[in-house]
Structures are given as structure tokens and as C-alpha cells.
Amino acid sequence: MSFSQNLKNRLKAALGSVGALTEFNNIYDVATAGTVEASKAVVASASKGATGLILNPSGLATGAGAGITGGTGTVYKNSLRREGNLYITSILIDLTGLGSSTTDLDIIGQGASAAYIAKLTAAECGTTILAAQMTCLEAPATGVTDIDLYSATEGTGVFDGGIAALAETAVITAGGAWANGTVKAATTVPLSTEYLYLTCGAAGTVGTYTAGKFLIELYGYD
């Protein structure tokens, strides 16, 4: 008897009904050990509520604007997960291909489209965001290396525009150039209804980033 057939028989006995086993087969592929069909998905019971780990493979409903994702060589990814009563939002970005300007607190991005890096919502990030941190995974180069994280109520901020023109709040102020491995915690946390932006933390010369990787993490709850 094959491993998969033996497993099915044991599950059938344990579950007590062919219907339950059929549902199991609809969710998991046990035909070949170590493989899972792309069409199959692990489904968490809604009754588990806040006690289970919930993954959203699509990430944020509204990720970065085109003023970020349109950069040549730019990498942008985000993820959402829930562990118990804790919501964790992660944003990974490689600034390559984005630009910085000459003015302190101008928004980092490219082109003329909105350059926010995320739109936060209570449903995805928690009603209250308790803490946030930003980790430098690769030091930025060519563009301004002093980079701040801001939140704003508007999603209309564009590259080279001043963040002060929006209803903004400083979330993380670098206070100097980022170095590989540096981690900075938020001094003020954003609301779970706001947009996030990266800005120049100091005046500098116009430049297009050739390096600069960051991980931004938000921790929220209901």
C-alpha cells in the first residue's frame, strides 16, 4: 500500500466520513510526498479567529503607487500576517531606479505619479498600530542617504514634492546616513488609515539610487 493511500485510510477512520475525507483531498494534495498542487490551498477555519496564523498571499490591497513601482530596477514587495491578536505588516523595497531631490523632506520616487509605499487599513494592519521599525538591508547609494519615513492622510504625494504639503507625521527620522544593518524604531506611529512615504532626510544633490534596500515593519492590534 502506498504512503498516500495508507494516509487516506487512516484519515478516513479518524474523520469518520467519506465527505470529510473528500474535503481533505480538495484542500491537500497527498498523491506525491513533498509536493502540493498549485490549485490546492491550505485553509484556516474561520472559527479559529485570532488564535491562528492567517496569511494573505496578495499582500496589501493598496501597495505602492506608480511613482514607486515604475522605477527601473526597483523592487517592491509587501506581506500581511496575523499571529494571535497581533497584525504584522512588512514592506520590502529596493530603491534602485528611484530618485532623490535637492531639498530636505522631498518625497523619494520617480515620474509624476503618486509615490506612497503603502496605504494602511485597519482591516489589514489592525485598528491600532502600536509600533514600527525600519531596517537597512543595503546602504543607499547615489541618492540622498539620509532617508526618513513619513505618514500622511493623503495619497497624492509625488516624487520631488515636499511632504510638508500634505497632512503629514514623521514616523522614523534617520538623523544621518543609513548603514547596512542599522535598525531604527518609530518615534511616532502612523494611523491605520494613512499612506506611507519615504523622504529625503537632508538636502542633497539630485540622484538616482543604485542601491538601498529596506525592510519596514508595522505591528498592530484590534
Residue-wise pLDDT tens digits, 146-189 = 999 999 999 999 999 999 999 999 999 999 999 999 999 999 99
Quick check: 115 and 159 in contact, CB under 8 A? yes
Which residue, among 194, 197, 208, has the nearest Cα to 172 in the 3D structure? 197
According to DSSP H, which parts of 28-180 are helical?
Answer: 66-69, 122-125
AA letter at 199: T
User: For the whole prediction, is pTM greater than 0.85?
Assistant: no
CA-CA distance, 129 to 132, in Å (whole number)?
8
pLDDT by position in tens, the chain (length 222): 555 555 556 645 655 544 444 444 443 444 444 544 554 444 443 333 444 455 577 899 999 999 999 999 999 999 999 998 999 999 999 999 999 999 999 999 999 999 999 999 999 999 999 999 999 999 999 999 999 999 999 999 999 999 999 999 999 999 999 999 999 999 999 999 999 999 999 998 899 999 999 999 999 999
Quick check: 123 and 82 in contact, CB under 8 A? no
